[in-house]
Amino acid sequence: MRALNAASGWRANVPGMSQHAKGTRQHTIGAPLRGRGILAEREHDPYRDRGKPPEPSACPDCGVVFHDGRWQWLTAPPEAHPQMCPACRRVRDRFPAGFVTLEGEFFHAHRGEVMNLVHSHARHVREEHPLQRLMEVEDRQDGSCVVTTTDPHLARGLGEAIRHAWRGDLAFHYEQGQTLLRVHWRR
């Protein structure tokens, strides 16, 4: 049996293969096989719906409507199925997906302006993405402030908006295997 001829690119005298057939690449050890194995969930979000709710559905708490495959701010039709949206479930269970911690001397001196930006940004995002909401604003005894959100994207957006407006030190910490984001801004 001859080995692969580097010049011509075909195998000769391989059992089951004609001399004129091109050889196929062999699978490398450990290469994934198609259609085999179970895909592991990258992150587990207990508030993410496993299937789509029936259309139309309306949240009885906030009034957001599930239509055309997504939650939207629409007028709920009379035949809408009552179903609580994921954001309202997070608020009810007090289980945030994002924590934004604001602290530092600059924050103490300009707290009103920074919090105006937080609320303005959250209001703007909520118009387009109804499931991204502020949950709670907690003032701590050390002078810092913790803002909780229903979505990690909103937490990240708040941190980036504050850094864009006033610079400062911004850090993100994603929890492994969860949809939880901790944002820390200091100036």
Boundaries of every domain in the chain: 49-84, 92-186
What is the per-residue pLDDT for 185? 98
Segment (H or E) for 89: helix 86-93
pLDDT for the residue 119: 98
pLDDT at 58: 97
pLDDT at 107: 97
Residue 34 confidence (pLDDT): 53
> φ, ψ for residue 118 (rounded to 5)?
-55, -50
Question: Mean pLDDT of residues grouped by 10 in the chain (187 residues)?
Answer: 46 52 50 49 68 92 95 94 95 96 97 97 97 97 96 96 97 87 97
Which amino acid is it at 71?
W
Say how far apart CA 183 and CA 147 lie, in whole Å: 10
The CATH topology of domain 92-186 is Alpha-Beta Plaits (3.30.70)
At 110, phi and psi to the nearest 5? -125, 35
| CB of 179 closer than 8 Å to CB of 43 | yes
Instruction: Determine how many CB atoms are found less than 10 A away from the CB of residue 73.
Output: 13
Query: Two tokens at 149?
Result: 């959100």
